[in-house]
Chains A and B, each alone.
Chain A
Amino acid sequence: MEWLLSKIQGEKSHRFLLTYEQQKKWLGFLFSVPALVLLFTFLILPVGLAFVYSFMEYNMLNPQGKTFTGFNNYARLFNDAIFFTALKNTLYFTVLVVPLQCAVALGLAILVNKKVKTAVIGRVFFFSPVVTSMVVVAILWTFLYNVDSGLINSALNFFGIPDQPFLLSEGQAMNSIIFMSVWQGAGFQMMIFLAGLKEVPETLYEAADIDGANVWQKFLNVTLPSLKNVTGFVLMITTIQAFRLFVQPYIMTNGGPSDSTKTLVFMLYENGFQFRDVGYSSAIAVVFFLVVLSISLILKKVLNQ
């Protein structure tokens, strides 16, 4: 690499008479071109196109026939009852999943943060759902939630609780999805918390011991404050992830019963791919982007205080 650098610089300097500073600038730019091209093609361009398409009537099967229709798609969106149901469902999911998942993850992290062999097994155990494909997990949980022959109802029956409808009921479907999502996702946040826990200096705990603090006091006054930055990061990514809920309702409930598990991304997929209405689904995407962006900004502000 150094050889290449000197070669290019050397040849450049007498052919083009660039100063050393100029060479450095151009060379830096040249090296970042691959990344910039990829970023532009796969990130900036699609987002920009989605924004443009959101002002168009655009049938996916007939791309030549697309026409600008102004704010039509947005007007349609804000008159669409399903949109508000989807927004409500997405918010409900996020509001419940984020604290639950973070709490479970923190608990697990503390549990496996021991210097014993079994802790390593625990880490593998709790992390394995994360590396399993969500589609597989969702199908498995559909079996677990089966009313007649599902494992969960069998367990409930054992404790004298009658069969629950789970995915078949408007009231329980979303909660069932939340429960399995927490189980599936917590392992990932656990790993981040675990890394944070390793950074907490042992001396702080020793000092707390000398002051006569009990376990709970140590957790509140040493562990939690030390994890402040990590917690902020975890909350942020969990929130963004929760907003993108799609696979679970797609596989387990098809957005039902009665739209009770229809989320914004599900609606976006349905309109974009099944109904081939690119304009409308782009409008949903833009609104979705704005919602996630504003919530992330608010969250950031709150966490910084």
Chain B
Amino acid sequence: MSEHELRVSKIRDGTVIDHVEAGQALNVLAILGIDGSEGFGVSVGMNVPSDRLGRKDIVKVEDRELSQSEVDVLSLIAPEATINIVRDFEVVEKNRVTRPDSVTGVLSCPNRNCITNADEPIETRFDVVADGVRCDYCATILRADIADHIDV
């Protein structure tokens, strides 16, 4: 994308999450626990033309780096995403997300009868399977609707 097409401005320091599946930008912010009240500068582009994805979303967060567990969950809803670390307007690091083997404590099980939804001192744990995630306790499989079950 050339300079004159830029829809959101460059950031000085922070993280750019690019190549997010169109429509998932707000879920990315939800995973990161960002709702604006933290004071970070946040820019969101939605349905931006992309050579690779057709259309994509893009999220820029100033002065904020991502933890591994955030990246893990991000990979589930935005498997094509690239994470760019920006310092002084330059991209100093560019990483593709990789799918983890499992995610712990981030998703809630959609099965209301699962023991993880009872009043137990227990963290959810999901195995990452071919095209979704699977509850380690009740074996329920979660696919396209993963973003609806992010428990942050």
Real binding pair: no
Q: Which residues of B are in contact with A by a Cβ distance under 8 Å? A: none
